Amino acid sequence: MAVRWLCSLFGKPFDGGKRMDHGGSQQQQHPMEPQQQPYHPQHPAMMRLYEVQKEVANLGPQVCTFSGMQNDRDYKRLERELMKLQLDVDQVDTEGKPELQGARKRAAQEVEGLLRYLEENATHPSRLAIEHLSNEARQLVDECVVAPQRSGGVAEINDELVDALQELVLKLTQVKTEGRVPLRKARYRALTRLCAVQDVVEGRTQQQTLSLPLSGDTHEAVHRINQVMVKVSMARSQLVALLMGLSGRDSCAHLSRILTEMQVELDALDVSGNAAIRNYRKQVVEEINGLLKHLDLEVEGDNTHRYDLAQNNSIREIEAVRAHVSHLREGVLRHCAMGDLGFRPKAELQSLLTHLDQVDTAKNPCIREARRRAVVEVQAIITFLDLREALARRQPCANEHPSHHAVWMVLGSLSDLQAQVLGFDGKRADKSYMILEELLTKQLLALDAVDPQGDEMTKVARKQAVKFAQNILNYLDMKTDEWEY
């Protein structure tokens, strides 16, 4: 029972100990529910089953947090130990006694459940997707950074590489984890490494624009600083290789020692009060510190508060804002339904946008995306209020162009549809979603059919209306894409 309780803490409830109720359906025994009285505690069979239970309790947390693949050493170890326990359970002699047979069956279910959970997560489609994206990033970094450096050439660090890395980061944030700890850990581990590589690469791009190194004729210390700069450049490529699993025999600890020795060497230099050289040394030290901060990633993801972003303070801030936005949205929709346009919490919504701008994302792509989505939610309400107010103030003149009038008619329909989208709380498979999507698409087609007939005001209005309709569609998609941090 301890294992089932442990697994329930780590994500997907453990189902190894499911039992059948009188109707034939599966029931999950509560982790705190007392066990049946054991049969003869000193019986050899029961003693062996107790030992198995202890070993299962030890392996349970390891299985429930394992985030690797089937070819990983730890997977094979866990699988081997669980299969050994399975064999031990099968060999327990119950002497045909029902009580012992029941105890052995429960022990076998615990072991089988862990084996199944281990395999499910290692072969889950999302886990395979994470591995595929990681391999794609590894190949990209190897070709552009690591391989050229090892062959004595120059790494191809450019905007194309930075953009390609950013695209892979975005794809990783979109991988669904279903709340499973192993999948969340795997995605977090891949993201932290790729973001670190991104940071190192972008830092290198910025450094290439500096007028460094200084001429060795300036001061005798400059020559030694220049030598350190060459070592830093090599260390940068080593770090990237380490982060992407391309390092061979190198280790983070070894690279950390090398970088620390460089710092000691720089600290020992006598720059004789020369401001330019002192600033040069400072920049090199900052470059080394920038590399050192990424060398703790070997254990990244072991801390629950890191991969479980629900515990992250920035996410909590964002969620608090979203809760406030939800309350304001309900109020806006309620007053609009009654025809009351007096409720306009626009200043409050603008203050929430300012609050979101100040949320620290720590360069975490998942937190950045969570903040972006919260910003979109606020902006959707603001644009809804603005359009409602514009429609209420509108007083068409007698000689208004027919095409311009047609655009405003569509905007009126879009306003009504946006109210439904703001209040929508379903999934893409829902009939109401499909109806909303179809109605919004029809409004886009209606705008396409509007002929401005050379009227510039109509052209501008139609262009803005098209953008408005597309934003509503995008917002509807965002609400239903089941994104998770």
Average pLDDT along the chain: 82
Q: Which amino acid would we find at residue 376?
A: V
Q: Rounded CA gap, 54 and 5, in Å?
A: 14
Name the nearest CA neighbour of 322 among 360, 366, 271, 377: 377
Return the higher-pLDDT residue of 101 and 1. 101
Predicted confidence at residue 21, as pLDDT, reads 42
Dihedral of CA atoms 139, 143, 145, 150 in degrees, nearest 10, equals 110
Contact 28, 18 (CB under 8 A): yes
User: Does 205 score more than 50 pLDDT?
Assistant: no
CA–CA separation, 194 and 203 (whole Å): 14
CB 436 within 8 A of CB 420: yes
In tens, the pLDDT along 32-45 reads 333 444 445 678 88
Selection from 371, 373, 342 nearest residue 357 by Cα: 371
Of 138, 136, 160, 158, the C-alpha closest to 147 is 138
CB-count burial class (<10 Å; 0-12, 13-18, 19+) for 48: middle
106's tokens: 């429960």
DSSP letter (8 states) at residue 145: I
| All structural domains of the chain | 210-301 (1.20.58.120), 310-480 (1.20.58.120)
pLDDT at 305: 56
- Residue in the structure block whose two tokens are 């803005």: 464
Q: What percent of the chain shows pLDDT beyond 90?
A: 35
How is residue 306 written in tokens?
Answer: 């890191």
Dihedral Cα 151, 155, 161, 166, nearest 10 deg: 90
Look at residue 33 in the predicted model and tell me its pLDDT.
39
What local confidence, expressed as pLDDT, does residue 84 receive?
93
The better pLDDT of the pair 234, 353 is held by 353
Percent of the residues in the chain that have a pLDDT greater than 70, as a whole number: 84
**Is pLDDT above 60 for 483?**
yes
Q: With contact defined as beta carbons under 8 Å apart, do 406 and 447 qualify?
A: no
Classify 428 as helix, strand or coil.
Answer: coil
- For residue 36 the two structure tokens come to 């049946």
d(CA 164, CA 168): 6
Q: What is the pLDDT of residue 20?
A: 36
Position 210 confidence tier, pLDDT thresholds 50, 70, 90: very low
CA torsion angle 399 400 401 404 (round to 10): 180
Burial class (CB in 10 A: 0-12, 13-18, 19+), 206: exposed
Provide CB contacts within 8 A for 15, sequence distance 6+. Answer: 28, 113, 117
Distance of CA 466 to the CA centre of its chain: 32
In whole angstroms, what is the distance from residue 312 CA to residue 369 CA?
Answer: 14
Inter-residue contact 13 to 28 (CB < 8 Å): yes
Q: Rounding to the nearest 10 degrees, give the CA dihedral for residues 59, 61, 62, 67.
A: 150
Most trustworthy range by pLDDT among 33-37, 339-343, 402-406? 402-406
> Is residue 25 very low, low, confident or very high in pLDDT (cuts 50, 70, 90)?
very low
User: In the prediction, which pLDDT does 399 show?
Assistant: 84
Residue/partner pairs of 447-455 with CB below 8 Å, 24 or more apart: 447/407, 447/410, 450/403, 450/406, 450/407, 450/410, 451/403, 452/403, 453/401, 453/403, 455/401, 455/403, 455/404
Q: Are strands 26-27 and 19-20 parallel, antiparallel or unpaired?
A: antiparallel
Two tokens, residue 213: 């190194």
Q: What is the pLDDT of residue 166?
A: 86
Per-residue pLDDT, 219: 65
